[in-house]
Amino acid sequence: MISELLQENPLVTALVERFGEAIESGTLEHEQIILYITPSKIVEVCGVLRDEHSFDRASSVTALDWYPQEPRFEVVYLLHSVKANLRLRLKVRLSGEMPTVESVCSVWAGANWYEREVFDLFGVTFTNHPDLRRIMMPEEWEGHPLRKDFPIHGHKYDYGETNQ
Amino acid sequence: MSETLTPTVTLEPVPSVDAGSTRKMTLNMGPQHPSTHGVLRVVLELDGETVVNATPEIGFLHTGIEKQCETKTYSQVIPLTDRVDYLANLSNNLCYCLAVEKLLGIDVPKRAVWTRVMLTELTRINSHLVWLGTHALDMGAMSMFFYCTRDREELLKIFEMFSGQRLMTSYFRIGGLALDHPRGGLESVKKFIEMFPSKIDDYETLLDNNPIWKNRTIGVGTVPVETMLAMGVTGPMIRAAGIPWDARKDEPYSGYQNFEFDVPTRTENDVYARYRVRMEEMRQSLRIMTQALEGMPEGPFQADAPKVVLPQREKMKTQMEALIYHFKIVTEGVRVPPGEVYQVIESPRGELGYYVVSDGTSKPFRVHMRTPSFGNIQALGVMCEGGLIADTVASMGSMDFVLGDTDR
């Protein structure tokens, strides 16, 4: 369902015409456009946005955890076009079981670290990612701190003392 | 006798260890290297003196600020935002407050807006001064650091006057300012504005005609501008590459549309151009500050929103409603209507964005900080490849990253 506020928007209209059902819904919040995209189509949509609508950079990629709701995760793409001075927010909904979505690194190289961060802190896997490793937490860390079921005080961590 | 003591030295050629051109060396730089200004680790793959591959590793200063934000009330998050980018704390305060104010739908009175602009520009000068001092120090121009620190001291005194803190200011609050201007506050800002232009000239005299500085910066650290944009580089870095994108002009916030200033750009896209852009930015910041100071309106410094802004002490003691609101705000926090907003400002380092999601309670559901240093460091690898090790230090300095800002 595309919100009435977005019916006149040329960018949204063009995307809906092109992708149809893949644009699941759209809203306007605080004058900022939010579009929900079918996860399997995200790279395709981003590619078109870059090539035909001058979205030359992904400002950031992050995620939301709606635990215990299902679909649990939302991966959020904050896109920006310097040329058109325009911002757009794309979202994909992912289930809590093995959340996986294709990486947009092939579209914007800069998504690399942002997706690594989401992988590290939320446990969302990005397929086709060139270098999917933890970025903030130590490599041997267990769990994903920004998930809502991860306690704020952290899990007990022994700093390797028990191995000695 | 002496003949027996003199050893006969035969100089045989050292058998050459296969110095073949394919042998590469891996060098670990950081996380405690002085030129990383914090805890950044760069793994350099070297072919002789040339960098073949540079891989930045971050996360050593990760303190889970985004996670902590979810357990605090909206007001309690403000001190955390100071600690994200500890050289541009007021920029972070401002961006967060603007985002929450947008969610709440409250307007901030003019006096608060003007003060915010004035002090945020002062923060830009603060950050650029630290950058200039340490960047020049990395290049061997040691005295720059002393001059910059000396002048930064004046500016930290102003922060202390206004907020009570030199570094962790937390001066901007949701709906306005923490306190009205202190006595003599504006005069000290005025004094600083009068004093500082000559200092910028002094810095330039020291560096502009310095052949070592020029040799080490001109033509170093160049990356194609499209790559930079795609990698997420923002701020003075892309303005030195000819893209005049500045959030203060293109997505005006906090009343910036009322101020006259230029966005300095260069086209050389090297370390020297970034230096020139930042120097010019300091002058423009002074220009904005002068306008803010001259046009500083009288009136309230906090929004008229009793459910959001803490009441004045005097009111609290005399009015029942004020006391009730005070109690509610302190014990429960401010309830923010459900929704989400992405607020962008131009921090000294580039695009600073706060993505705040509210679920209707008094604690944020999610606060994501799109920090400029994170995006900028990502391009470090591309920037250093093909250069010399010494150029890596120059490139890193020109990025002006803060590791707290990167790792959060």
Confidence of residue B5 (pLDDT cuts 50, 70, 90): low
Q: Do A134 and B340 touch (CB under 8 A)?
A: no
pLDDT single digits (tens) A24-68: 888 888 888 899 999 998 998 999 998 888 888 889 999 999 988
Q: Do A30 and B365 touch (CB under 8 A)?
A: no
Q: What is the pLDDT of residue A18?
A: 84
**Alpha-carbon gap, residue B306 to B304, rounded angstroms:** 6
Burial label, B2 (beta-carbon count in 10 A; 0-12, 13-18, 19+) = exposed
pLDDT single digits (tens) B174-196: 988 988 889 888 999 999 999 99
CB B236 within 8 A of CB B277: yes
Q: Which of A62, A112, A145 sits opposite B368 (nearest CB)?
A: A62
pLDDT exceeds cutoff 60 at B114: yes
Q: Do A32 and B341 touch (CB under 8 A)?
A: yes
Q: Which of A112, A145, A152 sits opposite B378 (nearest CB)?
A: A112
| Long-range CB pairs of B52-57, under 8 A, 24+ apart, other chains included | B52/B24, B52/B385, B53/B381, B53/B385, B54/B380, B54/B381, B54/B383, B54/B384, B54/B385, B54/B392, B55/B381, B56/B377, B56/B378, B56/B380, B56/B381, B57/B31
Q: Do B58 and A152 touch (CB under 8 A)?
A: no
pLDDT single digits (tens) B350-363: 899 999 999 989 99
B277-298 residues labelled b (16+ CB within 10 A) or e (exposed): bbbbbbbbbbbbbbbbbeeeee
Q: Do B67 and A145 touch (CB under 8 A)?
A: yes
Q: Which A-chain residues 120-159 have CB contacts (< 8 A) with chain B?
A: 121, 134-137, 145-146, 150, 152
State the architecture of B55-407 in CATH terms: Orthogonal Bundle (1.10)
The Cα-based distances of B403 to A112, B45, B242, B347 in angstroms read 18, 22, 26, 15
Beta strand A125-127 pairing with A100-102: parallel
pTM: 0.89
pLDDT single digits (tens) B210-233: 888 888 888 888 888 888 888 889
Q: Which of A57, A108, A136 sits opposite B407 (nearest CB)?
A: A136
Residue-range domain boundaries for chain B = 2-54, 55-407
Q: What is the pLDDT of residue A163?
A: 52
Segment A134-163 shows an average pLDDT of: 77
Q: What is the pLDDT of residue B98?
A: 93
Q: What is the pLDDT of residue A67?
A: 86
Q: Which B-chain residues 157-216 have CB contacts (< 8 A) with chain A?
A: none
What chain A holds in terms of domains, given with CATH numbers, is 4-163 (3.30.460.80)
Tell me how close the Cα of B169 comes to any Cα of chain A, in angstroms.
Answer: 26
Tell me how close the Cα of A137 comes to any Cα of chain B, in angstroms.
Answer: 7
Q: Do A60 and B368 touch (CB under 8 A)?
A: yes
Q: Does residue B58 belong to the interface with chain A, where contact is any CB pair within 8 Å?
A: yes
pLDDT exceeds cutoff 50 at B1: no
Q: Which A-chain residues 10-49 have CB contacts (< 8 A) with chain B?
A: 29-30, 32, 34
CB B38 within 8 A of CB B357: no
| Chain B residue with the nearest C-alpha to that of A60 | B370
Q: What is the pLDDT of residue B8?
A: 57
Assembly ipTM? 0.89
Segment B392-400 shows an average pLDDT of: 87
Q: Which of A29, A56, A112 sits opposite B229 (nearest CB)?
A: A56
